[in-house]
Amino acid sequence: MVAPLHRLLYADLVTRALQEDLGRAGDLTSDTVVPAAAQARAAFVARQPGCLAGLDLAAETCRQVDARLTFEARRQDGDDVAAGEVLAVVAGPARGILTAERVALNFLGHLSGVATVTRTMVRSLPADANTRLACTRKTLPGLRAVQKYAVRVGGGANHRFGLDDAVMIKDNHRQLAGGIGEAVRRARAAVGHTVKIEVEVDTLEQLTEALEARADIVLLDNMDPATLRQAVAQVRAAGTGTLTEASGGITPETAAEIAATGVDLLSVGWLTHSAPNLDIGLDIDLGSGS
């Protein structure tokens, strides 16, 4: 089970989303159509199957809109849910429920979508593969912490959270530095002993340079499976303990074949920047039901 995010990591995000939605005049519809004293109960319901993520953000949204609202989770993040399943129930002032609805559903649907595509890809990998699926920094602005959390919920791993996590020498860096060896040398001389150094390589010749420079990780970029197998064999033969990471155009259809080459990691940007929303709705219950 993945540890929940600390509230400090998403409370301001929820506040900004609510401010964006409420604008300058507030919820004109709910405040004029719904009686101020009206009470209601509503259920967050999955419209399609998937992996649930984002319940804490949905609950925080309800709390920030109206502290009198109660939020009862019926499932937990990381659960596989079926279409029609009740995920959580919110109760209290009806205006508050309706004001919170869209922002709560936006977070819940998006993060569940990220968790769902991650879980789908993880489950597509060969059972005997030791390859981990990782996301990248290709996140939506402002959402990195919660999107990377959703990837973990779905069974994936996180690559760098930011530029300060590790050294990542890509093609532009090595060109400006004068080559892979010089780039690694400069980085090694400047960063602390706990900082990993990763080098992106496009060819087996560049891989040789990275291994000679004793890079901690090599990013094998846009290599076909046959070349990846050669690269993995070359790294293992070097005996440096260097981790191998494959990247570039990896899909659920190709992930298993790429994992079978023996690479340690698959890094996939679209898990966060292009995951489809999981369809979740909010159903008002005027009776004493669910």
Known catalytic residues?
A: 102, 138, 170, 200, 221
Identity of the amino acid at 139: T
AA letter at 281: G
Cα dihedral across residues 126, 131, 135, 137: positive or negative: negative
The DSSP code for 240 is S
Any idea what DSSP says for residue 50? E
Cα angle 275, 3, 260 (rounded to 5 degrees) comes to: 55
Smallest CA-to-CA distance from 55 within 107, 123, 18, 16 is with 107
| Sign, CA torsion 190/240/255/157 | negative
Distances (CA, A) of 45 to 81, 83, 88, 223: 10, 8, 8, 42
Q: Which tokens go with 209?
A: 């340079």
- At 216, which amino acid appears? D
